[in-house]
Amino acid sequence: IDVDTVVVSVGVSPNPLIPKSMKELDVSSWGTIKVNKETLQSSISDIFAGGDIVRGGATVILAMGDGRMAATSMNKYIKEKVRNIISLVKEFKTIGDILDFASK
């Protein structure tokens, strides 16, 4: 899988470096990342989070469940982005259409 960054976290409490380094990321007063509870998507649409960075110190079982949920959500999110791109590309009839769109 081609990715920009993968963060592996091992510990029992949230690491403050990630939330502090991304000012657009919604963070609770406890330093945990706020996410949609059904998708684990953060306030930055391309970032999903789970485990201690969302819950605070919790069990590995909960973190594993979060990982599975986040992976499922990421899969749906990426597929939707690809569908949107394909739909957009299908609207282009000529190279000129593509260049006009790209210049906007």
Quote the domain boundaries for residue 47: 17-74
pLDDT along the chain (104 residues), means of 10: 75 74 89 94 93 84 91 94 81 80 78
Within its chain, how far is the Cα of 21 from the centroid?
A: 16
Instruction: Tell me, yes or no, whether 25 lies in a domain.
Output: yes
Instruction: Tell me, yes or no, whether 41 lies in a domain.
Output: yes
Give the global pTM: 0.69
- For residue 43, what pLDDT is reported? 96
User: What's the domain count of the chain?
Assistant: 1
- For residue 34, what pLDDT is reported? 95
